[in-house]
Structure 1
Amino acid sequence: MTRFARSLPLLTAGALLLTAACSAETRTEERPSPSPSAGDEPGGGGPEGADGGSAADAPVLDPLPEEIPADLQPYYEQELTWRGCPGVPGFQCAMLTVPLDYESVDPADDIQLTVTRARAGGADRLGALLMNPGGPGASAVEFAQDAANYIFPAEVREQYDMVGLDARGTGGSEPIECLTGPEMDATTQVDRTPDDEEEMQALLTAHEEFAAGCQANSGRLLEHISTIESARDMDVLRSVLGDERLHYVGFSYGTKLGAVYAGLFPQRVGHLVLDAAVDPRLSTLDLDREQAGGFETAFRSFAADCASRRSCPLGPEGGDDASANLLAFFAELDATPLETGQDRPLTESLATTGVAMALYSESLWSELRLALTAAMDDGDGAPLLALADAYNEREPDGSYGTTMFAFPAISCLDSPAATTTPEEVLAQLPDYEEASPTFGRDFAWATLLCGVWPVEPSGTPLTIPAAGADPILVIGTTRDPATPFAWAEGLADQLQSGILLTYDGDGHGAYGSDSCVDTVVNDYLLANTTPEEGASCP
C-alpha cells in the first residue's frame, strides 16, 4: 500500500495555506509520484530575483574540505544498531546520531535521525542508494519502504541497498511540531484570498499563530533544519554505511537536497538522479511565481482533457473558459461553503487545495473531474474535501502528518521571505495573476507565512557548480505543475557535470512512470551509461 504519491508537492513555503503544504506528499492508490509544478511556459518574472538581480548573481556554493574535522570523526565512525522495522518485512531500521549544529558541535545537543534499509539481493552490490521524495518534509523512510518495489526494478534492488533517511525535522527524525489537529482544521479553512482588510488581518493572524506554535513546540530545532545541514547528515550516513561515494535518487525538493550535497561534497558524488528538478539559484519570489505558472499549465492540460469528455463540469471549451468557471465556483464557496457530511464544510481554501492535489498526477484527473462534478452539479463537497485531506496529510482521526509543519519550517529557513506585509502582496498580485489567472492570488497571499517566521533565514539562493563531480542525471517534465521544466534546465546548466533528460508529458516527476525514462535511469544506475545531450522521452 502506498502512503503517498512519489513526492509531495513542493509548493512555496507560504503554500502551507495555499495548498496546505505544497510539499506535503500526495497520496494515491497506486504509486508515489513527485511534487507538482511547472509547465512549458512557467509564469512569473522569469530569471529576475526579488531584489531585481539575476539568478546568475546567486553566490556559488563552495565545497567543504575533504578532510573530516576531528570534532566530527565520532559521528562518521559510529556503528548503527539495525533492527527489523515493525510491520515492514525485508527492511531494517536504525537511528543515526548527528550534531544539531555542525558549526558548533556539542554532543549534549546531538539529535537522532531515523534510517531504513533493505539489503541488496545480489552478490555484485554497488552500494547504498539513498532516496528522498521531496517536500521538503516528506518521510524518506516511508517512501523507501513503499517505493522499493513499485519504482525500482529488481535489477536495481539486486545491486543497491534501498535506503531512506528522514531528514532532520521530518518523519521520525525529531519532527517539527506546530499545532494540534483541531487548530490545523481551523488553519486550513482560513480564506487564503482575502477580499478586504478584515480578511487580510485574519489570514495574517493565522500565519502568526502557526509560526508561534512551531516556535513554542519545536524550540531550537527550528534553527537547524536547513537543506545544507540535511545534506551534511547524508554524508555522515554515507560514511557509516561504508560507501566512499553517495548514490542517490531525489524527487522535487529532493533534487535540491541532492544538488546541495553535490556542491558540498563533489568528490564523493556517485550516481545522482535528480527528477522534477528545482533551480536553487532562484529567489523565493521567482520560485513562487513560476510555480504558480506551473500549476496553471497543469490545470489547463487537465481542463483540455476534461473538455474532451462527454461531460465536463468546467464546460466544453477548456482554456480561459474553464479557468473562469472554476474561479466562479471558488467565489460561490467563498460566500457559501458546501456540505460534506462532516462538521468541516468545503471552503474555497479547501477546494483550491483539493484541485491542486489532483494536478500532481495525470492518474488523478478522473478523480478530480468526478469531485468537481459532485461539488458543482450536485452540491456535494465531500470528494474535493477528501482530496484536500490527502494533500494536507489529515488522517481520519483528525491528526496531521509532519510534512505540514516541516515544509514551511525548512523553506523559510532556506530562503529570505518574498513578502512581509499585506501591502507588499497587493503590489505583487498583478504579476502573480499574470503568471496564473487561476491560482495566482492564492500563491501570492501564501508568501506571507515566511514573512512572520520566528527564525531568521540562514540560507540564500545558491549557484551549485559541483565542479569535479561525476555525471549527474537531471530530469524535467515539460508540464510538471510543481517544478517547472525551466527549473530542470537551470539546474542541469549550472551543474558542471549535469546531464538533462527531458520528459514530454504531464505530472510531477517521471522515473517510475514512463518506460523510456526508466530505461535511461536504470542504465545510468547499473551500467554508468549517460544519455546524449538533448536526450528526451518518450
Structure 2
Amino acid sequence: MPRYTSRPVAIAASVSISLLVLGGCSQPQTQPEPQPDLQSFYKQEVAFEPCEGYGTTSADEDAFASDPAFRCARVEVPLNYDDPSGRTAHIALLKVPATGDRIGSLLMNPGGPGGPGMSMAAAGATTLADSSLTERFDLVGFDPRGVGASTPAIDCFTDQQNEAGDTYTTVVAGSRTLSEDGSRRLVEQCADRSGGRDVLAHVGTRDAARDLDVLRAVLGDDKLSYLGQSYGTRLGAVYAEMFPENVRAMVLDGAIDPRQRTFDRRIDQFTGFQRSFDEMATACAVTPDCPLGTDPGEAVENFQDIVRPLIDDPIVTADGRVLDFDAAYGAVTAGLYDSTVWPVITAGIAEVQAGQADTMLKILDVFGGRDADGTYPNFPEALYAINCMDENRNTPEQEVELKRRIQEIAPFTDAGLGPDGARDPCEFWPAQPTLDLPYATDIEGLPDTLTISITGDPSTPYEGGVSLANTLGGSLLTVDGERHTVAFGGTNPCVNGIVADYLLDLTSPPAETRCTL
C-alpha cells in the first residue's frame, strides 16, 4: 500500500479460514436501525442499469460492456455524516449477478487506497468464472468515495501534468522535493479541481466504512460479506470495528498492520521492497546479460549507475513521453509486487542502459491504468487524498528523517541527492486525520475473519497479516511465495478452496494451515 506516488505505482493486478466460524454457529441478530437522519440513505432504492457511461477509461468502458449481465448503479451517501442534510456524494458500483442459488452480495475492494472496485468485479466474472463464488454471490465492486466513477472524485492534476511527470505527491523516496509554498499549492489545486476543501476533508477510511454499511443495506444484505486486498484490509478492519454486528464474513488479503503507526510501517514497507529487489537481483544474476550484474551484492550500485543519470538527462520518447529517475524507480517498485514480473523489470533496466524507455513506460501504464489516448485514472490522486485523511503527519524534520531512513534501508530508491527538502505533502490538508492509529482493537461481537498473508509480500509484510488476524481474533492463512495478494486471481487451488469454504459455508481452516504459490 504505497502512501504517495509520483507516478501511478499501483498494486499488482492480482486481487485474488481452527474452529467453526463463530458467525456460522450463532443465530442471526436483529440489526439496529440507522439513526433517524440517515434513514433515507439506508432505505433508498437502487436503480441498476446497463453500465454504459460508467467507465472512466476506455478500458473500463470496454470491460463494462463485455457482458450484458453486468449492472451498474450509484448510491447516494452524505458527504459529511455529521451533516446528513447537507451535500451528498454518490458511490458507483458494478454488480455481476449470481448464476445460481444466491447467498447475497460479496462486496469487493482492490486496495490502493484509490483502486476502483467496479473493474475488480468485472474482472471477477472471468477470473472467478469456474468458482462457486460466482454461482452463490453477486460480485459487487464499488469505487470508494473520491475514487473512479464515484462523485465527487479526487482530481489534482491534468492529463498533461501526469504525462509530463509533474505530479509529485511524494518526497520520501526518489528525487523530488516540495517547498512549503509548493505543498500549499498542491493542496489548493486538489481542492479546486475536486469540488472543494470539504471533499478533501471527507475521503478518509472511516467515511468510506460508513458508505460500505449503506451499500450493504441498500443491496438487501442483513450481514456484510466482504473481500478486501491490501488497503482493502484496512477498510474491512475499520468496518469491523465500527459495525461488528453487521459482519457475516471478511477475507482480508495482503493485510496492513492495524497496530503500526505510519513511520514504522513505511520503514517496514520499504524494507520489504528492498528485500524483493535483492531477490530479483539474485534471480537475474544467473541469466545472460543481466543489467544488474552477476554479483547480487553489487546490484544496487549498478542500478543506481543506470538510473541516476536520468535525473539530469531523462529519456524522451519520439512521442514526447519522459522517463526520469522517479518514473524508472516507480516502474521497478510497481513490478516488485509480483515475482512473475521481475524478468520484465530487468529487461526494462537493460533498455534504459541502451537509452530506451518502452518497457519501463509500459509497466507504468499497466500498473497505473493509463489509457491508450493518454488519459489517466485518478488512482494516485485518490491514494494521496485518502492517506492524508488516514495517516499520521510528519513535521518537515520528521519527513527528512523518514527519507534518510528509507534511503538507508532501501538504497535502490535513493537518487543520491540526500534527504534534505523532504516535506509531508499532507502538511496543509484542510482537515486532521480521522483514522486514529492504531485501529480495530478490542472489538466485541465480531465473527471469525480470514486474513491471508504471504511470506514474501513486498508491500504489506507477512508480520502485518499476523498482527491483523490476532487483533481481530480471527483466522490466519499463511501463503509461502513472492507476491502481493492472492485471493482473487483464481490461480492457486489451495487458496481458492479455503476462501470458498470460508465465504460459502463459514468454515475456517485448521490452525497453522499453509499454502504455497
TM-score by length of 1: 0.83
Name the count of aligned residue pairs. Answer: 481
Of 348, 353, 359, the match for 2:325: 348
Q: For structure 1, which runs of at least 5 residues remain unmatched after alignment?
A: 1-9, 27-31, 36-64
Q: Distance in 2 between matches of 1:479 and 1:93?
A: 36
Q: 1:380 to 1:463 in 2, by over 3 A?
A: same
Residue 2 (structure 2) aligns with: 11
Give the letter for the 1:99 counterpart: P
Contact kept, 8 Å, 2:120 with 2:141, in 1: the verdict is yes
Residue deviations 1:419-467 (CA, integer Å, cap 9, x gap): 332x433334442234322226799777621224343323321331432
Q: 1:191 to 1:256 in 2, by over 3 A?
A: closer
Q: Partner of 1:438: helix, strand, or coil?
A: helix
Instruction: Please list, as runs of the form range in 1=range in 2, the aligned pairs for 1:147-186 lying within 5 A after superposition.
Output: 147-151=124-128, 153-174=130-151, 175-186=153-164
Q: 1:101 and 2:90 equivalent?
A: no
Give the letter for the 1:459 counterpart: L
Residue 346 (structure 2) aligns with: 369
Of 412, 418, 427, the match for 1:438: 412
Of 389, 402, 406, the match for 2:382: 406
Contact kept, 8 Å, 2:178 with 2:422, in 1: the verdict is no
Contact kept, 8 Å, 1:190 with 1:206, in 2: the verdict is no
Contact kept, 8 Å, 1:416 with 1:459, in 2: the verdict is no
Q: 1:232 and 2:210 equivalent?
A: yes
Give the letter for the 1:94 counterpart: A
Contact kept, 8 Å, 2:262 with 2:392, in 1: the verdict is yes
Of 436, 440, 443, the match for 1:464: 440
Q: Distance in 2 between matches of 1:233 and 1:192?
A: 28
Residue 498 (structure 2) aligns with: 520
Give the letter for the 2:37 counterpart: D
Residue 255 (structure 1) aligns with: 233
Cα shift at 1:416: 2.3
Residue 505 (structure 1) aligns with: 481
Residue 50 (structure 1) aligns with: none
Contact kept, 8 Å, 1:144 with 1:162, in 2: the verdict is yes
Q: Partner of 2:111: helix, strand, or coil?
A: coil
Q: Partner of 1:16: helix, strand, or coil?
A: coil
Q: 1:73 and 2:39 equivalent?
A: yes
C-alpha RMSD of the superposition: 2.6
Of 23, 26, 49, the match for 1:83: 49
Q: Distance in 2 between matches of 1:228 and 1:147?
A: 26
Residue 452 (structure 2) aligns with: 475
Residue deviations 1:359-389 (CA, integer Å, cap 9, x gap): 111221221121111112x221222122223
Give the letter for the 1:154 counterpart: S
Give the letter for the 1:215 counterpart: A
Residue 58 (structure 1) aligns with: none
Q: 1:241 to 1:426 in 2, by over 3 A?
A: closer
Q: Distance in 2 between matches of 1:342 and 1:536?
A: 48
Residue 380 (structure 1) aligns with: 356
Instruction: Please list, as runs of the form range in 1=range in 2, the aligned pairs for 1:91-490 lying within 5 A after superposition.
Output: 91-106=70-85, 108-123=86-101, 125-151=102-128, 153-174=130-151, 175-188=153-166, 207-218=183-194, 219=196, 220-318=198-296, 320-376=297-353, 378-417=354-393, 419-421=394-396, 423-439=397-413, 448-465=424-441, 466-490=443-467
Give the letter for the 2:2 counterpart: L
Q: Partner of 2:226: helix, strand, or coil?
A: strand
Contact kept, 8 Å, 1:291 with 1:482, in 2: the verdict is yes
TM-score by length of 2: 0.87
Q: For structure 2, which runs of at least 5 residues remain unmatched after alignment?
A: 17-30, 53-64
Q: 1:284 to 1:315 in 2, by over 3 A?
A: same
Q: Distance in 1 between matches of 2:267 and 2:179?
A: 20
Instruction: Please list, as runs of the form range in 1=range in 2, the aligned pairs for 1:6-85 lying within 5 A after superposition.
Output: 10-12=1-3, 15-17=4-6, 20-22=7-9, 24-26=10-12, 32-34=13-15, 66-85=32-51
- Sequence identity of aligned pairs in percent? 34
Q: Distance in 2 between matches of 1:478 and 1:188?
A: 36
Contact kept, 8 Å, 1:99 with 1:110, in 2: the verdict is yes
Q: Distance in 1 between matches of 2:180 and 2:319?
A: 27
Cα shift at 1:25: 4.7
